[in-house]
Amino acid sequence: MDDKKILFSAIQPSGILTIGNYLGALRNFKKLQDDYNGIFSLADLHTLTVKQDPQVLRKNTYELAALYLACGIDPEKSILFAQSHVPAHTELAWVLNTIAYPGELSRMTQFKDKSKKHEDNINMGLMDYPVLMAADILLYQTELVPIGADQKQHLELARDLAIRFNNRFGETFKVPEGYIGKTGARVMSLAEPERKMSKSDANLNAFISMDDDTDTIIRKFKRAVTDSDNKIICAPDKPGITNLLTIYSLFASVSIEDAEKEFEGKGYGDFKLKVGEAVASVIDPIRQEKNKLLADKSYLDDVLSQGADRAARLAYRTLGKVYKKVGLVPRKRG
């Protein structure tokens, strides 16, 4: 670790990721790891807050590790690790729990939403989720956290807890800043372009998964909802075409204006095929690389193990300080 700033990011290994996750998060990591000390985590403990099939969770965890690597995370440059491999996360979460208030946790939008969605399983972990997330971030003296808009409240809590702890016990944690990606990266459903693209959509044609192959991607774009006239331009009354142009511009790395020019006078059929091809040309090689990596579990285990060693070294430095500040007697070693 050199003196670059620390960036921390985590994704839950809870199944399908869409091109929305790619554009909003994964795509940026490769570049960010050059400008920051990147710490990338598989938030496996967070997934336990909703019911998981243990076997599927294990599979998803390897899948996500492979996907990070396939998207260009370099385990020599960055730290890639599983949250559950570094016990300091849950240890710090316990201490942070003693300064977090039930009121502020039960007010969290995501807690309320998930409580509605999983009425039969409103557990303590679901409510405590943001405290574990704060521990993830604060353990590494993180300066920057790239997040989706849905995680803004959680990041705010991490900042509040850092400040609260520092005020009570003296300077201990860096107060992290959030980085919310540009609105251009907001990808909408292919079936109902007024709604955000979601992996949990019952209509499989509404989203592009990172696991879709070229044929599937092209077929899904062919079926994408468009608008009534034939113009290929971004406009508020043309949400379908606007979404497709946005996706094209992001995947083909051209401006919206240039994309509009490129498709001037073309039909929707041609246009949708080009969008599908542009997306497939990025996603398909990633999927193939991911599958290649998945065939070598022992390599993935090694990467995660080395990542956990490096993460633990940093994490326990912070946890040691925290334990000392709150008055816990250090254990005598040797």
Of these, 66, 145, 187, 279, which contacts ligand TRP (CB under 6 A)? 145
**Contact flag: residue 139 with ligand TRP (CB under 6 A):** no
Q: Is 51 a catalytic residue?
A: no
Structure tokens of 178?
A: 């959030």
Q: What is the C-alpha separation between 27 and 181, in angstroms, rounded?
A: 11
CB of 26 to ligand TRP, least distance (A): 12
- Quick check: 162 binds ligand TRP (CB under 6 A)? no
Residue with tokens 């710490």: 39
Binding mask 27-66 for ligand TRP (x = CB under 6 A): ----------------x--x--------------------
What is the per-residue DSSP string for 22-80?
A: IIIIIHHHHHHHHHSEEEEEE-HHHHTTS---HHHHHHHHHHHHHHHHHTT--TTTSEE
Closest approach, Cβ 119 to ligand TRP, in A, equals 20
Known active-site residue 114: yes
Closest CA to 314 of 178, 180, 177, 174: 174
The smaller minimum CB distance to ligand TRP, of residues 139 and 225, is found at: 139
- CA count, 13 A, side-chain hemisphere, 84: 11
Minimum distance, C-beta of residue 239 to ligand TRP, in the bound complex (Å): 25
CA 153 to chain centre: 15
Catalytic residue chosen out of the listed positions 114, 220, 274, 290: 114
Find the binder of ligand TRP among 133, 247, 304, 315 (CB under 6 A).
Answer: 133
CB 176 within 8 A of CB 7: no
- Neighbour-count burial of 107, counting CB atoms closer than 10 A to its CB (0-12 exposed, 13-18 middle, 19+ buried): exposed
Interface region with ligand TRP, contact rule CB under 6 A, candidates 7-15, 160-168, 220-228, 270-278:
7-15
Binders of ligand TRP in range 258-297 (CB under 6 A): none
Q: Is residue 20 a contact partner of residue 283, using CB atoms and an 8 Å limit? A: no
Which of 6, 7, 8, 246 binds ligand TRP (CB under 6 A)? It is 8
Alpha carbon distance 57, 61 (integer Å):
6
159 in contact with ligand TRP (CB under 6 A): no
Give the range of 132-140, 216-224, 280-288, 307-315 binding ligand TRP by CB under 6 A.
Answer: 132-140
Stretch that binds ligand TRP, among 5-13, 117-125, 193-201, 214-222 (CB under 6 A): 5-13
Verify binding: residue 137, ligand TRP, rule CB under 6 A.
Answer: yes
What span, in angstroms and rounded, lies between the C-alpha atoms of 188 and 24?
12
Please classify residue 269 by burial: count the beta carbons closer than 10 Å to its beta carbon, then call 0-12 exposed, 13-18 middle and 19+ buried: exposed
**Nearest approach, Cβ of 231 to ligand TRP (angstroms)?**
36
Contact positions vs ligand TRP (CB under 6 A): 8-12, 43, 46, 133, 136-137, 145, 147, 151
Catalytic residue numbers read 114, 196, 199
